[in-house]
Structure 1
Amino acid sequence: MLKLKADLHLHSVLSPCGDLLMTPEEIVKKAKKEGVEVAALTDHNTAENVEVFEFFCEKHNLKFIPAMEAETKEEIHILCYFPDLKSLLKWQEIVYGRLPQQKNDEDFFGPQIKCDFKDDYQAKVKHLLAGAVDLSLEQCLAQVRELGGIAVPSHLDRKHSIISQLGFIPPELNLITAEISKNTKPEIVLEKFSYLNELQFMQNSDSHYLKEIKAYQRLIVKEFSFIEFKKAVQKEEGRKIELIKT
């Protein structure tokens, strides 16, 4: 089995809260410097920088998973991963169709910047990306699955998590994996929520600044592919996610 260091929760300048230095190539270069082998750009409710991010991942020999962090109707953040850019962009169409028809307030949320293949600022996305999508958690999970993707609830120990919003994880969701933030440890989460002991934890940097990028986990897979990644998320056939002790 391969053990691939992965950071699968990263925000570029397109996310309202992303630092202006978080351009796709600068993210890739910092990830490579930190020994990250697999990366996913997960901007808020958008994938407009993902194609450029994929271009720079290929340029710098960094493995790549198409992704987005969506916010459900209940204000739950979920990490959505897809087998290819085409399916991710179909998901983006769905998300854009269910976002509030409201302009971004740059003074409050910050600019939302799309980059070009030279890693320069190309344009600003004007409609608000920081809001919730008019789809329930169950609807989002189902839509992602229909597109061949897989979703992982974000940062269980923070606000805008499935626990902070619902108070528990509905058993009918049959979740195998959920993310914890880089600011905690599995034993701390389990001490507070002992019923989560059957879950596999994912841990990412959730970086909004270049200095935060770091691998907190390894993907245990036979080879790198989206199929193998899905097996790791679902803990199938010996594939899994292994946290790096820090």
Structure 2
Amino acid sequence: MLKLKADLHLHSVLSPCGDLLMTPEEIVKKAKKEGIEVLALTDHNSAENVEVFGFFCEKHNLKYIPAMETETKEEIHILCYFPDLKSLLKWQKIVYDRLPEQKNDEDFFGPQIKCNFNDDYQSKIQYLLAGAVDLSLEQCLARVRKLGGVAVPSHLDRKHSIISQLGFIPPELNLITAEISKNTEPKILHEKFSYLNKLQFMQNSDSHYLKEIKAYQSLIVEEFSFAEFKKAVQKEEGRKIDLI
């Protein structure tokens, strides 16, 4: 089995909360310095920078997983991972069609910048990406799976999580893996919520600034592929996620 250091929750200048230095290539270069081998760019409700991000990952010999962080109707953040860019862009269309009919207020939320293949600013996205999508948690999970993807609930220990919004994790969701933030020890959550003992935890940097990028986990897989990543998330056939 391979042990691949991974950071699978990163925000670029496309996310309204992302620092202006978080361009795709700068993210990749900082990740490589940190010894990270697998990345996922998970901007809020948009994948406009993922193709360029993938280009720079390949340029610097790093692996990447097409992804997005989606906010459900309940204001729950979900990390959505896909086997290829095509399926991710299908998900982006679903998300865009269900975003609020409201333009981004750049003075309040910050700019939402799409970058080009020179890692320069190309254009600004006018949708309000900081809003919730008109899809329930269950609908999001089901549609991501239908597109061949896998969804992981974001930062259980923070706001905009399943626990903060619902107070518990519905057992019918049959979750195997959920994310915890980089500042939380698993044992603290286990002590507070004993039912979380059955979950496998993913832990990422959730970086909005270059200095925050760091590996907190390793993927235990036979080789790098989306199929192997999916098995690791579902904890199948010896594949899993180990926290560092």
TM norm. shorter chain > 0.5 = yes
Structure 1 regions of 5+ residues with no counterpart? none
- Give, in whole Å, the separation in 2 of the partners of 1:223 and 1:129: 34
Q: TM-score, normalised by structure 2?
A: 1.00
- Give, in whole Å, the separation in 1 of the partners of 2:130 and 2:28: 24
- Give, in whole Å, the separation in 1 of the partners of 2:118 and 2:184: 37
Q: Secondary structure at the match of 1:114?
A: strand
- Spell out, residue by residue over 1:130-152, the C-alpha distance to the aligned partner (whole angstroms, 9 max, x if none): 00000000000000000000000
Partner of 2:143: 143
- Give, in whole Å, the separation in 2 of the partners of 1:194 and 1:207: 28
What percent identity do the matched residue pairs reach?
A: 89
After TM superposition, the structure 1 = structure 2 runs for residues 83-232 of structure 1, keeping only pairs within 5 Å, are: 83-232=83-232
Partner of 1:67: 67
- Give, in whole Å, the separation in 2 of the partners of 1:132 and 1:192: 28
Q: Secondary structure at the match of 2:218?
A: strand
Deviation at 1:224, TM superposition (A): 0.3
Deviation at 1:126, TM superposition (A): 1.1
Deviation at 1:127, TM superposition (A): 1.5
- Give, in whole Å, the separation in 2 of the partners of 1:84 and 1:125: 22
Q: Secondary structure at the match of 1:29?
A: helix
- Spell out, residue by residue over 1:1-38, the C-alpha distance to the aligned partner (whole angstroms, 9 max, x if none): 00000000000000000000000000000000001000
Deviation at 1:194, TM superposition (A): 1.0
- Give, in whole Å, the separation in 2 of the partners of 1:36 and 1:191: 30
- Give, in whole Å, the separation in 2 of the partners of 1:185 and 1:6: 18
- Spell out, residue by residue over 1:187-212, the C-alpha distance to the aligned partner (whole angstroms, 9 max, x if none): 11111111100000000000000000
- Give, in whole Å, the separation in 1 of the partners of 2:191 and 2:230: 28
The one-letter amino acid paired with 1:116 is N
Structure 2 regions of 5+ residues with no counterpart? none
Q: Secondary structure at the match of 2:182?
A: coil
**Cα root mean square deviation, aligned:** 0.3
